[in-house]
Structure 1
């Protein structure tokens, strides 16, 4: 009997080659947990997919980057990915986002999944999907079954090594999140930072965002209030992509590293994406989404 279950990892994506390892680490961890179930990657960013498709058609680029997986070069969007799996007989799917907060990208993804799962046919046996489950982002989502605060605490517990690294350098730990101008995700970031300070009280953990609240200015105000002079910067992003290498530690005057140094802070940086650190959390979210959807993964 042909297997009908599959897992789709819905990632924002990245165009930075070195950052792909953060995404592939998540896929590898999920595959290890479910070795008999296909685990497919999709990128939810239209722009990022277009760039990879352009690169896939560029012989010069391919010659310079021979190690890029075909799955990345020909990466598909969520609708195409789910549809292609369905066409192969995978009518019971679990879609797991690797987004950090339930903001714009997650809401769009949830809309796609709900729409596909609601398709009815005249004869029920010809419905395209038996079920499609949807997992939660890293810091949770609106749910009556899973308290988002528990997800935030689990994330903080999982990132204990970040606090230990800051402690070893006698520095405050400052994360850079992404944020969104149109979605109030700042409260989730602030609650995460509060849980970090609760779990690791000897390390001052703060978080700011690139695009919304809290800002770097607000982070610096807190650093001044606590009379901190040494700072460890770390991206609170799944990948150490463009925001990490440019906005966080770039040589430009407005990067976080440059700005903090102008303010008199001694700045160190750990430019690693969260992907490998939090992959186990996404495995747990896959398992919970599958159980709720009645999908047995192997």
Structure 2
């Protein structure tokens, strides 16, 4: 019997369609079923080697676990120097790379990473670049999102100013000045510090922001202090924890510490060794940023 071309043309598309439908089944059979969704959180801090700062990290850990019950939380420190110091003391803290590797090995498919840095500077963008490299690896993590650092939006700035003001020691009087020591950076994100000065000035004209390694400098703060006619100065870290910078560069007894320099200028200095992570209102900002990042894990 002679077959017509029209009969063959009906057969060929049907055969190809069957092949295409079969391919996913073959692939699935070869690699096993799709991994079930497993969500986790990774917290990335700069870190500190000082035991006095641990309560601040514990407070963040507690707040995150309360906001995300049942979701596993991993920690990492982005500072290699701090990790090395802790390792010599027998305390092992993962780097962001190691924490993400462990989460990938543990079968996590969706990970929300929260930066515990103050500004979106070099450390923050280093975290972003590191963790996003894990997204889409074969048999790895399907989705990675990163929560913004403390200061990012106008709302963040306003909430942070309100939180810091609320945590100034109660015995501070209106005529007393408050000097906040930020870390500072050569990264363009250093602009957040002079911007913070503007926000603080609108709320309290006797609060001044300086940095250890950026701008405004202590010399610039001194000019504003002189104009304020304050005689007493409360020194507070504008950092997540009261670590080495706060205890030595700000409140230390060395001649070049901020306390020593301002004392020589005739001010009575009162150091306050509490980082912003010890303020519940500040922790709430990081948690809110994490909530946004966690929600975005479901976005396609």
TM above 0.5: yes
The CA deviation at 1:164 is 6.5
Counterpart position of 2:234: 232
Structure 1: distance between partners of 2:178 and 2:236: 7
Name structure 2 gaps, 5 residues minimum.
1-34
Q: What TM-score comes out, normalization by structure 1 length?
A: 0.83
2:196 corresponding residue in structure 1: 192
- Which string of whole-angstrom CA distances, capped at 9 and with x for unpartnered residues, describes residues 232-290 of structure 1? 10001111111111000101000000000001111112111111211111110100111
**Contact kept? 1:236, 1:273, Cα under 8 Å:** yes
Q: 2:44 aligns with which of 10, 31, 35?
A: 10
Q: Which residue of 1 aligns with 2:206?
A: 204
Q: Match of 1:60?
A: none
Cα displacement (A) at 1:292: 2.4
- Out of 247, 264, 267, the residue aligned to residue 265 of structure 1 is 267
Q: For the residues of structure 1 that align with 2:233 and 2:190, how far apart are their CA atoms?
A: 21
Report the count of equivalent residues.
263
Is the CA contact (8 Å cut-off) linking 2:175 and 2:230 kept in structure 1?
no
Q: Return the offset for 1:169.
A: 6.6
Q: Give the aligned partner of residue 289 of structure 1.
A: 293
- Are the equivalent residues in 1 in contact too, given 2:57–2:277 (CA < 8 A)? yes
Q: Please list every run of 5 or more consecutive structure 1 residues that lacks an aligned counterpart in the other structure.
A: 57-72, 141-147
Which structure would you say has the larger RCO, counting Cα contacts within 8 Å and 6 or more residues apart?
1
Q: 1:19 Cα deviation (Å)?
A: 1.1
Question: Residue 110 of structure 2 corresponds to which residue in structure 1?
Answer: 92
1:133 to 132, 139, 145: 145
Q: Secondary structure of 1:6's match?
A: strand
After the TM superposition, which parts of structure 1 deviate over 6 Å for at least 4 consecutive aligned residues?
Answer: none
- Distance between the aligned counterparts of 1:21 and 1:213, measured in 2? 29
Q: Which has the larger radius of gyration?
A: 2
